[in-house]
Amino acid sequence: MITFQFITALSEADPQSHLIARAGCALLPDSALIAEMRDEKNVADTRFGCAPFSRITLLPDALWQDSLTEGLVTALRPLLASPVSAEVVLDVTDIDDVVLAQVLRFLFNQAHRLSDLQLKKTSDTVRLERITALCLPEQQDRLTALFRQQQAIAQGMVAARRLADTPSDRCTPQFVVEEAQKLCAALPALRCEALDEKQIVEQGLGLLHAVGKGATCPPRLLAIHYDGVSDGPVRCYVGKGITFDTGGLWLKEGAGMYTMKYDMCGAANVLGLMLTVAELGLPVRIMGVLALAENAIGPDAMQPGTVATACNGTTVEINNTDAEGRLVLADALAWASQRHPQARYIIDMATLTGAVVKALGYELSGLMTQDEPLRAALTLAGKQSGDEVWSLPLDARLKKQTESAIADLCNTPTNNAAISASAAWLLHHFCPPTIPWAHLDISGTALWRESGRSVASGRPIPLLVEHLMEDC
């Protein structure tokens, strides 16, 4: 775990650390080097003549106030790709709170790298181990709480990212269950409840069964329970956990399959959220539900035209086997609402549709809900955390998109229109109107994309933790 500490003068910093500061920081030494670096209009970075530091980086003051484009994180990312020191000294004397949260999450997330999976020979000799914050004396008490909070959020993100980055031949539904059980066992406030393929059928989860029955690795449903208080309403989170998505008999093309090990990021992020909540000890009751299956091809795979029945009795015509995520989510939503019919709310998250990326890009998660207070609270939490959402419509005008001649619903619109909102309209049938419900489509935000490669991002854990803390 990456640790942190505070100092109020650079003379307190350990030698050979990496100093990262605003160009206008008043606590920088009065030297010719600093004066020359301050004259730079963009990033000024040196590893020469900067003793006692091993590296000094000065960044434009504007970046320390730019919460919209994450300019500071963008500037730091290549600098931390190959660290020269195990310690970063970060100037936090004048920085926007949202920017600070974004930067801290980025730094604490350096605890995970793909090399940690031990699948590639690597020479990572230097890893970030400590963040030293250069602050004013009067800032320290307030900053301590913020640093601890972002450290806990990053721990959950790292757990989720590490699981999602694991190749799907290893990361099967059962593997996810076992890894979650190991991680939760270290936190006494968490307890796990797992359903195997037989119990899934016995409890009527016909949609989850339909998706998972074609794979040699059978489906699982995992519920993680947290009781930070003895009574009160339960907050529920549901995550799509398709450990690999071939598209089923509606087979994807090869290029479309390349990142499909990440189709379980929603479930991984529910696990990460639960770990963070337990670490912070929030005074709430929560149930996280991971709907886990592999969407495979084979003699037992679901077929286009199949009608399957969810655990709430709703029948669904599966006219596209590559729209499987909404099927497992639907069953998990219905199951969660039956377990907690008085839930405070249910929020689901899923890498559900490529259409949301076309609509919102890679920076915003799509939010769909009919509950206005929940919409407002999540939108505000997104702005406060720097992990933002954007609302898409969800009302009865979408009804025709899920009509079926043979079943209660069909899983995809035949006109290929409003794909993201249509999926949410299907899902809303599986959460009773008495329970506030919101759907987060994280297809754009669940991955960090750079240089043509993708890795898990851990979003929207920061958003959901911020929302929880405001809702406690």
pLDDT in tens, 404-426: 999 999 999 988 899 999 999 99
Give residue 384's pLDDT: 97
Residue 275 to residues 37, 172, 400, Cα–Cα distance (Å): 42, 20, 40
Q: Which of these is catalytic: 162, 326, 375, 459?
A: 326
d(CA 244, CA 260): 5
Does the pLDDT of residue 452 top 80, yes or no? no
Of 221, 245, 269, 244, nearest to 447 by C-alpha is 269
Burial class, 86, CB count within 10 angstroms (exposed 0-12 / middle 13-18 / buried 19+) = middle
Give residue 414's pLDDT: 86
Does the pLDDT of residue 105 top 90, yes or no? yes
Contact 295, 211 (CB under 8 A): yes
Give residue 416's pLDDT: 85
d(CA 365, CA 346): 17
Please state the separation of Cα 381 from the chain's center in Å: 14
Give residue 278's pLDDT: 98
Ranges of H-type helices in 60-196: 71-80, 97-108, 140-165, 173-185
> Which amino acid makes up residue 428?
H
Burial class, 438, CB count within 10 angstroms (exposed 0-12 / middle 13-18 / buried 19+) = buried
252 assigned to active site = yes
The average confidence (pLDDT) of the chain is: 96
326 assigned to active site = yes
pLDDT digits (tens, 9 = 90+) for 286-345: 999 999 999 999 999 999 999 999 999 999 999 999 999 999 999 999 999 999 999 999
pLDDT-derived band at 437 (thresholds 50, 70, 90) equals very high
Contact 76, 68 (CB under 8 A): no
Contact 285, 227 (CB under 8 A): yes
